Structure 1
């Protein structure tokens, strides 16, 4: 069910697996979200964050250039709710400071992530 309000929430996607990223992007857009990314490196995502703040974010724990720790810290500083979507349980060590963050292990249907984003946004109202 698409979001009904006039401004579409902006979701930042960090995902370096192209098929997962594109499926997730399509599913979010179909559900009424705007999508930033998908970004495949932390460096490009941090550059984007210099000028924009998303409403929520979906982070893979590690991208092509390493763990997403700096992005997670920046989003936390800005009080942007986010979740971590990773297929590797050992990636939890990269983001140990973020135990309170929702962690969804790959694979799940994109619709599960869309619903999780919706819950993150409802939680910050």
Structure 2
């Protein structure tokens, strides 16, 4: 799998709420990241992952087509660090095998997510 040819770290963003997705994308780009997505469906994110690998990822627990379990499993298989950004505490049940992953409950300022991404990738932006 290839990474995008850029010195900026690449963050996969899965988020099905447009305003949250665009705000997060802008904040990450302003902080020095390239963004893959935002993907509103698991299918679209998995399709992108067929030919690319991000440096890290921000996953909503569930998208328009269901829980992001397959995306999380694929990222884990590739040893890509990621965090889960969810609006509902009960979403933890959807991805129960990922309780060890950083979970951030919505809403938080986008800067909190940017900082969390920086913690996943020490030495990056």
Report the TM range for the smaller structure's normalisation: over 0.9
Looking at structure 1, the residues matched to 20 and 32 of structure 2 have their Cα atoms a distance apart, in angstroms, of: 19
1:114 aligns with 2:118: no
1:87 aligns with 2:87: yes
Matches within 5 A, 1:36-115: 36-115=36-115
**TM-score under structure 2 normalisation?**
0.93
**TM-score under structure 1 normalisation?**
0.93
Looking at structure 1, the residues matched to 19 and 45 of structure 2 have their Cα atoms a distance apart, in angstroms, of: 19
Residue 52 of structure 1 aligns to a residue whose secondary structure is: coil
Residue aligning to 2:14? 14
Residue 92 of structure 1 aligns to a residue whose secondary structure is: helix
Moved over 6 A (4+): none
Write out per-residue CA displacement over residues 24-60 of structure 1, whole angstroms, 9 at most, x where no aligned residue: 0000000010000000000000000000000000000
Unpaired runs of 5+ residues, structure 2, are 1-5
Looking at structure 1, the residues matched to 100 and 122 of structure 2 have their Cα atoms a distance apart, in angstroms, of: 17
Unpaired runs of 5+ residues, structure 1, are 1-5
Deviation, 1:122, is 1.2
**Matched pairs, number:** 118
Residue 122 of structure 1 aligns to a residue whose secondary structure is: coil
CA RMSD of aligned residues (A): 1.1
